[in-house]
Amino acid sequence: MADENVISPEGQPAEEKGSVKLDLYFWMQALVMALVSLILVFTLVGRVIGVVGSSMVPTLHQSDLLLLQSIGYTPKQGDVVVLRKPSFMTEPIVKRVIAVEGQHVTVDYGAGTVSVDGQVLDEPYINELMVDTLNPYMTVLDVTVPEGSIYVMGDNRNHSSDSRDQRLGTVDKRYVLGRALCVVLPFRNFGPVG
C-alpha cells in the first residue's frame, strides 16, 4: 500500500509546498494587475496634482491632491479646472470655469455678483461675498469670452488672481491641463470636486 503523505526533499509535504507557490503566484498576479490598472488610470484619465494656495476655499484647500481628467476633456461652465499659463504663474493654478467662448461676463462688485449673458449666477460654492479688493490689475470685469477661451475665477473671490486680473484675462483652452474630478488626499477631504 502506497504512503499518501509524500515528503519533499526539503522536509515539507509536497502538497503544502505547491500551495505556497500557488499563493505567491496569485499575489504577484494581483500586484501586477493593480499596477497595470494604476498606469491605465493615469494614462487614460489624467494626472494627479496638488493645490497650492487658498483661492478655491471652501471647495479645495492647500495641499489637497486632485485627480484630473485630461484626455478628451472640453471645458464647461461650472467645472473646476487646473491650468498653466507660464506668462502669469510658473505653477499650475486651480479655478472654476465661469464662462466659455461666446458668453458675456459681467462682474459687479457693488452687488457682489457675477453675471453670464445677463443672468446672475447662483454660486453656493463661493467662500464669502465678493468685494472690490482695489487691486489695480483687476480690470477684466465686462468681457465677451473670445473663441477658444474660457473665463475663470476662484471660489475664494477676495483672495484669488483669476480672469479678472488683466495679466491672466480670458484663458486659451490649450492652457487647461484638465478637469478636477476628485480629491484623493488627504483622506478627510476625499471625494468628488463640485
Q: What angle do CA 62, 155, 158 make, to 5 degrees?
A: 95
Q: What angle do CA 45, 46, 52 make, to 5 degrees?
A: 140
Neighbours of 83 (CB within 10 A): 23
Based on the residue annotation, tell me whether 95 is a catalytic residue of this protein: yes
Task: Report yes or no: 66 and 51 within 8 Å, Cβ to Cβ.
Answer: yes
Residue in 95, 149, 160, 163 annotated catalytic: 95
Q: Nine-digit cell at 171?
A: 484663458
Residue in 19, 55, 149, 163 annotated catalytic: 55
Task: Report yes or no: 150 and 75 within 8 Å, Cβ to Cβ.
Answer: yes
Is the CA virtual torsion 29, 32, 36, 42 positive or negative? positive
**Cα–Cα dist 70/16, whole Å:** 48
**Cα–Cα dist 161/20, whole Å:** 59
- Which residues are annotated as catalytic? 55, 95
